[in-house]
């Protein structure tokens, strides 16, 4: 994952415009919190981040509203 990726920058920049019911993928979560992918999974398991939802057979995503609450705390 490149932290200076244009797509990642756009995802993080547009985060405030997403509805609370939207979902974002792991690179966006990592960019929002400034953490590595392994840390995002570890924090989710420990409760520091919300638990991701299965969106497909091999796809997980984090709920935007839950991430906003985690950022506020």
| Chunked mean pLDDT (size 10), the chain, 73 residues | 61 87 94 94 97 96 96 88
Is 65 domain-assigned?
yes
Please give the angle made by the CA atoms of 48, 52 and 55, to the nearest 5 degrees: 175
Domains: count for the chain: 1
Report pLDDT for 34. Answer: 92
Tokens of 73: 């705390």
Q: Tell me the CATH number at 48.
A: 1.10.1660
Q: What is the pLDDT of residue 1?
A: 45
| pLDDT at residue 12, as a whole number | 80
Confidence (pLDDT) at 7: 65
Q: Is residue 1 part of a domain?
A: no
Residues near 5 by beta carbon (within 8 Å), at least 6 away in sequence: 27
Domain that holds residue 11: 7-72
pLDDT at 73: 83
Domain annotation covers residue 26 = yes
Residue 29 lies in a domain: yes
Residue 21 lies in a domain: yes
């Amino acid at each position: 994952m490149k932290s200076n990726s244009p797509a990642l920058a756009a995802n993080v920049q547009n985060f405030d415009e997403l509805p609370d019911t939207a979902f974002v993928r792991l690179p966006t979560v990592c960019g929002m919190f400034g953490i590595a992918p392994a840390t995002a999974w570890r924090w989710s398991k420990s409760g520091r981040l919300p638990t991701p939802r299965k969106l497909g057979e091999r796809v997980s995503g984090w709920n935007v509203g839950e991430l906003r609450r985690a950022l506020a705390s």
